[in-house]
């Protein structure tokens, strides 16, 4: 698998740029991905979603489905796509350092 260098750290990623080892995540990764995804500056709302995803993944080992993500995070679907234009799976999960979701996130 390929590696990318972020803030002087070598990070293993899959073919789509998702972090292979979620335990290697740090906030600099989220900033790196945000820039790559064209998101720009991460706001408090972005961090709310990222933190929710990280917590959910730590408890379950999977990313939540989009409906659950919106309901439990309190962020409506429309706003989710405003925050992460490439979508919750590609943008939000990638920022959170989760592996590429296999289902509908």
- Catalytic: 104? yes
Question: 28: which 2 tokens?
Answer: 């600099």
Eight-class DSSP state of 91 = I
CA 68 to chain centre: 15
The distance between the two most distant Cα atoms of the chain, rounded to a whole number of Å, is: 37
Q: Which of 70, 93, 95, 104 is catalytic?
A: 104
Question: What whole-number distance in Å separates Cα of residue 62 and Cα of residue 58?
Answer: 8
Q: Which residues are the active-site residues? A: 104
């Amino acid at each position: 698998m390929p590696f990318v260098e972020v803030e002087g750290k070598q990070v293993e990623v899959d073919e789509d740029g998702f972090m292979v080892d979620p335990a290697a995540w740090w906030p600099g990764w989220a900033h790196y991905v945000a820039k790559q995804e064209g998101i720009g500056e991460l706001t408090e709302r972005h961090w709310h979603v990222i933190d929710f995803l990280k917590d959910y993944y730590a408890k379950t080992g999977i990313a939540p489905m989009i409906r659950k993500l919106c309901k439990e995070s309190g962020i409506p679907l429309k706003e989710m796509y405003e925050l992460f234009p490439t979508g919750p799976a590609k943008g939000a999960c990638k920022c959170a350092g989760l592996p590429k979701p296999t289902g509908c996130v």
